[in-house]
């Protein structure tokens, strides 16, 4: 029986979910300092993936500048906060790009994403099947929104999923912790960075 704490790099892909400048290198200095450990974790895991021959798939959340594709469906959260239920960066702007420290390389895959799931309308599921990758490592933000949505959909599509804790973030600490410690455990394995490194080790 296969060791559940080892994964085959030949069957694995890394999804760097919404690791855009707006999230990881924001203009607000205090927020930038707070997000630095997450960015550092991404630097580490992307290097691990490349060394192991694991494809790196980036997503960035975008909407058109004219707002024609912005989601305006009524939700309780939008009613409470007065903001749309989904807010993306503007397509083509620097904040929708990626921090220099984790900038995609020519061999990587980059997808523009207009809805919370990494899979909806992107073609990522099709890419994974084309590459014969049925195991995904994923992290990003917000943990309790887009990452959890993607993890649930990955489960529905029969992908084995591992969530990288240090690479997740959310503005809601309680929801972030609940998602990692409770909700996503039904659909994925939640692991720390050093555990991922061990799982990928030859």
The CATH number covering residue 114 comes to: 3.40.50.850
pLDDT over 70, % of the chain:
99
Distances (CA, A) of 160 to 92, 98, 145: 33, 26, 19
Domain coverage including residue 36? 9-200
pLDDT in tens, 53-64: 999 999 999 999
With respect to residue 4, please indicate whether it lies within any of the assigned structural domains: no
| Reported confidence tier of residue 70, pLDDT bands at 50, 70, 90 | confident
The whole-number average pLDDT for the span 96-124 is 97
With respect to residue 2, please indicate whether it lies within any of the assigned structural domains: no
How many structural domains is the chain composed of? 1
* Backbone φ and ψ of 141, nearest 5°: -155, 155
With respect to residue 99, please indicate whether it lies within any of the assigned structural domains: yes
Q: What pTM does this model have? A: 0.94
């Amino acid at each position: 029986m296969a060791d559940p704490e080892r994964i085959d790099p030949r069957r694995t892909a890394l999804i760097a979910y919404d690791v855009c400048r707006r999230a990881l290198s924001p203009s607000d200095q205090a927020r930038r300092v707070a997000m630095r450990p997450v960015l550092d974790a991404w630097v580490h895991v992307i290097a691990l993936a490349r060394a192991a021959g694991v494809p790196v798939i980036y997503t960035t959340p975008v909407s058109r500048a004219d707002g024609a594709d912005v989601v305006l469906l009524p939700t309780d959260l939008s009613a409470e906060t007065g903001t749309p239920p989904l807010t993306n960066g503007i397509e083509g702007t620097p904040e929708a790009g990626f921090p220099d420290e984790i900038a995609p390389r020519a061999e990587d895959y980059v997808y523009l994403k207009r809805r919370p799931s990494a899979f909806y309308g992107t073609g990522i599921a099709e890419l994974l099947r084309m590459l014969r990758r049925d195991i995904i490592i994923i992290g990003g933000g917000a943990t309790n929104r887009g990452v959890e949505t993607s993890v649930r959909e990955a489960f529905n599509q029969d992908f084995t999923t591992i969530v990288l804790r240090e690479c997740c973030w959310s503005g809601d600490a309680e929801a972030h912790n609940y998602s990692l410690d409770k909700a996503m455990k039904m659909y994925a394995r939640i692991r720390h960075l050093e555990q991922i490194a061990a799982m990928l080790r030859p």
